[in-house]
Amino acid sequence: MIAAAKTETPATRLDLASDAMAENPWPQLHQLREQGPVVWHETLNRWLITTDHDTRKMLIDFGRFTVEGTSVEDLFGSDAFISMDDRKRHDQLRNVWADAFRARGLAALQPQVQAIVARLMALVVERLRDGETADLSAGVCRPLPTMVIALLMGIPEEAIPDIVRWSDAMAAPVTYLAEAQAIAVRSTREAAKSGLAAYLQSLITARRKQAGDDLVSTLVHSEPGRQLSDPQMVQNLRQLLFAGNETTAKFLAQIFVVYGERPEIRRVLAADRSLITAANDEVMRWQPTVGTVVRRVRGGPIEVGGVVLAEGDDITCLIGSANRDPTRYADPDTYDLHRPPQPNLGFGVGFHNCLGSMLAKMEAELAIGALLDAVPEFTVAAPYRYSSLSLRGPLPVMVARDHG
Ligand code: HEM
């Protein structure tokens, strides 16, 4: 195909930060995909990638599509491995923690996560059994991932409210906001980043003196860790602490909503727990939490989907669109529990793929399993709203016992 110039390509001015895009982005994403695999956003000055094929291509080709210089670097800092395209350096740092997030490490962690789930779920279940409604977002979805990552990092429970506060402020989306709004959000975000950095610095200092069985100590006393300055170490720890917090909370919320609204699926899962893994994967495909992933073109012009992208061009991969790409998924707008298994892009792909995906999946399976054990007939009891397109989940998640 002959590559088109920017002025000749499909274009849009769609407000990606609107409430409508957060609530129900699917018709608009469908329309963008119909326009083409690569669509120019005239006001954001960036390319939107709409297909599964082209999104995969970009996320895998780190030589041509870099994270460096994007909003990822702005949020996490250039010394966090999530922002690095120097594969060797990235892998050295990521590998320091990789074992903890693989099957064996997680199997050892599972009983402790199960105990946290049981503790959090007990209060919810008590209310439901008393015939009251319960807030799963505040009771389970939000605290669970923070308590789990705190456990892994050896952070004491009394610090958790601060961690949640800093992490929530860091999660406020800025990428698609008007400049005036973005400035205000950015300043709150920077204050949160500094607060968290100071706290993490105190952990580094303590673990340097006395190592514990936790991921801060693992980094501090590792060979790659010893080569980092303290501010560089803080960036890597902050990334680890933050990346799995809001994301997992929103994924859990989405799972409870999908099953709470679908008694037929809830019943199948309650009867056959072996289906939960695939059922949760389908939630991630159908309603991905991370709706946008950004990159920048590096190393000269490159043709993608019939369009020439120039050096330095900014790119947003629309994961929500890719995950509903009809060339990959039959009947993509339908939640299908029995869909043939195919990896979707909800946890990314390529060497920046999610380090904590198996942990997030484990938390989700234990949480839904615990609720199905105690109150299999739960239902969504109040309206909810979606947060944003880029980090998307329903809030609040109020549930009740379904007497229907
Ligand atoms: C449902 C929950 C989660 C979702 C949807 C999610 C999604 C993602 C996505 C899409 C990426 C790729 C970003 C890119 O390519 O630019 C990513 C990377 C990452 N995630 Fe997650 N994530 C989740 C949970 C977690 C958890 C629990 C942790 C750790 C405790 C974690 C740690 C990371 C890290 C460190 C990276 C960067 C990996 C690298 O650059 O090598 N995530 N995540």
Domain boundaries, the chain: 6-384
Average pLDDT over residues 95-104: 97
Ligand 1 mutation target, pool 78, 84, 102, 247, most atoms within 8 A of CB: 247
- What is the 8-class DSSP label of residue 340? P
Residue 85, classed as helix, strand or coil, is: coil
Cis peptide before 396 (omega within 30 of 0): yes
Band of pLDDT at residue 403, cut at 50, 70 and 90 = confident
- What is the 8-class DSSP label of residue 6? G
98: pLDDT strictly greater than 90: yes
Inter-CA distances, 231 with 80, 182, 239, Å: 10, 25, 12
pLDDT at 1: 46
The closest residue, in CA terms, to atom 21 on ligand 1 is 354
Does 356 contact ligand 1 (Cβ within 6 A)? Answer: yes
Residue 357, classed as helix, strand or coil, is: helix
pLDDT at 174: 62
Q: Tell me the CA–centroid distance for residue 51 and ligand 1, in Å.
A: 21
Q: Which atom of ligand 1 is nearest to the CA of 348?
A: 10
Burial of 307 (0-12, 13-18, 19+ CB in 10 A): buried
pTM, two decimal places: 0.96
The closest residue, in CA terms, to atom 7 on ligand 1 is 347
Asked if 329 and 342 touch (Cβ cutoff 8 Å), the reply is yes
The closest residue, in CA terms, to atom 24 on ligand 1 is 244
Does 120 contact ligand 1 (Cβ within 6 A)? Answer: no
Q: Tell me the CA–centroid distance for residue 348 and ligand 1, in Å.
A: 8
pLDDT at 70: 93
Question: What tokens were used for 42?
Answer: 């005239």
Does 117 contact ligand 1 (Cβ within 6 A)? Answer: no
Task: Tell me the pLDDT tens digit for each residue of 163-185.
Answer: 989 988 888 766 666 777 777 77
**If residue 274 lies in a helix (H) or strand (E), which one and from where to where?**
none
**Distance in Å from the first CA to the final CA of the chain:** 56
Average pLDDT over residues 146-154: 96
Ligand 1 mutation target, pool 116, 354, 357, most atoms within 8 A of CB: 354
Q: Which atom of ligand 1 is nearest to the CA of 148?
A: 30
Residue 243, classed as helix, strand or coil, is: helix
For residues 98 and 80, what is the distance between their CA atoms, to the nearest angstrom? 15
The closest residue, in CA terms, to atom 38 on ligand 1 is 352
> What are phi and psi for residue 298, nearest 5 degrees?
-130, 140
CB-facing half-sphere around the CA of 239: CA atoms within 13 A: 26
Fold of 6-384: Cytochrome p450 (1.10.630)
Q: Give the Cβ contact number of residue 199 at 10 Å.
A: 18
Asked if 292 and 264 touch (Cβ cutoff 8 Å), the reply is no
Q: Tell me the CA–centroid distance for residue 1 and ligand 1, in Å.
A: 35
Q: Which atom of ligand 1 is nearest to the CA of 239?
A: 35
Q: Tell me the CA–centroid distance for residue 339 and ligand 1, in Å.
A: 24
Task: Tell me the pLDDT tens digit for each residue of 368-397.
Answer: 999 999 999 999 999 999 989 999 999 999
CB-facing half-sphere around the CA of 287: CA atoms within 13 A: 26
Residues facing residue 394 across a β-bridge: 386
Q: Which atom of ligand 1 is nearest to the CA of 149?
A: 30
